[in-house]
Amino acid sequence: MAEAKQGYEQRRTTRRHLVFYSRVFDGMSSRVLGHLMDISSEGLMLLSDGPVEVNEEYRLRMRLPKEVSGSDEIVFGAVSRWCRQDENPDFYVIGFQIQDMDDETRRSVADLIEEFGVQDQP
């Protein structure tokens, strides 16, 4: 559960907050790992009820709004890079680095960001 110093501060692309609510599942199970807070083509951040081990590999599944893609979900590999308790001590914030994403899924994420992303304030 310890926070890794690398992943969070070494991000190369800007993540975008989205204007829709999306649960992210652990693999193909129905277990909710967390709720998507922001995403880029290289990583994502989740708000979760519990901590995860840092540097663990996951197969993540995320449902999409139908407007984004012909498919209603995407599946991709990611590694947990950091985990810390949220300002609300009942939750944890987890940073993932995307490791395995095919071109079609990458296009779906880009479309998702384009259509539902919110510009961060300076």
User: pLDDT, tens digit, for every residue of 22-46?
Assistant: 899 998 788 999 999 888 889 999 9
Domain that holds residue 88: 6-100
Mean pLDDT (the chain, rounded)? 81
Query: Does 120 fall in a domain?
Result: no
Asked if the structure places residue 27 within a domain, the reply is: yes
Evaluate whether residue 122 is within a structural domain: no
pTM, two decimal places: 0.77
Tally of domains within the chain:
1
Q: Would you say residue 35 lies in a domain? A: yes
- Provide the pLDDT confidence category of residue 7 given band limits of 50, 70 and 90: very low
The alpha carbon of residue 91 and the mean position of all alpha carbons in its chain are separated, in whole angstroms, by 16
Query: CATH number of the domain that 81 lies in?
Result: 2.40.10.220
pLDDT at 60 over 50: yes
The pLDDT assigned to 2 comes to 45
User: What are the tokens at 67?
Assistant: 């407007």
